Amino acid sequence: MKLDERRRLHELTKDQLQAELVTAERNLLLLQFDAGMKRLTNPAALHNTRKLIAVLKTRIRERELLEETGLNSIEEYKAYRVAERREYASRKKAQ
C-alpha cells in the first residue's frame, strides 16, 4: 500500500473507514471466488486486499481508543499506555 493511500485513509472519519472496510471485504470475497474458479488474473490482489482490510481495522480501532480516552492522537495514546504500564509495574514492585 502506497504512502498516499495510507494518508488518505488516515484522514477519513470512522464512518467512512467502516464503509471502506465493507467494500474491501466484499472485494476480497469476490477475489476469493475468482481464485477458486481459476479466473483470477492478478493473484497479488488477494494479498493487497487482505492488507488493506488489516489497515482499515487498525485505523478504526485507533479511532475507538482515542474516543474512549479523549486523547487527540495515537502518539498521545501510546505515551498514555506506557505511563499506565510503568505505574502498574511500580505498584506491583511495591507490594
Q: What is the pLDDT of residues 25-64, one digit of tens each?
A: 999 999 999 999 989 899 999 999 999 999 999 999 999 9
Q: What is the mean pLDDT of the chain?
A: 93
- Backbone φ and ψ of 58, nearest 5°: -65, -45
Distances (CA, A) of 14 to 7, 11, 54, 57: 14, 10, 15, 10
The pLDDT of residue 32: 94
The pLDDT of residue 94: 87
Residue 79 near residue 29, CB atoms below 8 Å: no
Please name the residue ranges forming H helices in the chain.
Answer: 3-11, 14-36, 44-69, 74-94
The pLDDT of residue 49: 96
- Whether pLDDT at 90 is above 90: yes
- Whether pLDDT at 15 is above 90: yes
